[in-house]
Amino acid sequence: MKKHIEVVAAIFINDQNYVFCTRRKNFGELALKWEFPGGKIDLEESPQEALKREIKEELEINIVDLEHYITTNHEYNSFTITLHAYICEGILDNYVLNDHEESKWVHRNDLLILDWTEADLPIVAKLMGVLK
């Protein structure tokens, strides 16, 4: 039986409809794929608590507000994932990439120019208005 992990992701959208995207480092099954920043939910931790902790660790910023957006499920070769995505507010002026190869702001209509992880694709589709 494959390992199942439960994770959270932050969606940051600026006033011009650009979305903050991060690219994974070059290792593991999802090497160099694009994703929304976030990470695993620890035992005894709510998804909201996990997301605030993960974003502080990964980007060195604080989330000031968050709202559930979508939950996705996907089966990869070596594990299955449940991904809870939240629309978040925070100041990304001085973020630091501690866990990612790179980041960029991409207009929500152009998100498919990036090579996304499969679990993140339903989030992308919803942001682009393809999925309701």
Q: What is the pLDDT of residues 6-20, one digit of tens each?
A: 999 999 999 999 999
Name the residue with tokens 């999802």: 30
| Residue 86 burial by Cβ neighbours in a 10 Å radius (0-12, 13-18, 19+) | buried
CB atoms within 10 A of CB 49: 13
Q: Which tokens in the block code for residue 43?
A: 């035992």
pLDDT grade, residue 131 (50/70/90)?
A: low
Structural contact between residues 23 and 32, judged by C-beta atoms closer than 8 angstroms: yes
pLDDT in tens, 99-122: 999 999 999 999 999 999 999 999
Whole-angstrom Cα distance, residue 27 to residue 106? 24
pLDDT at 132 over 60: no
Q: CATH second-level architecture of 3-127?
A: Alpha-Beta Complex (3.90)
- pTM (two decimals): 0.94
Residues counted in the chain: 132
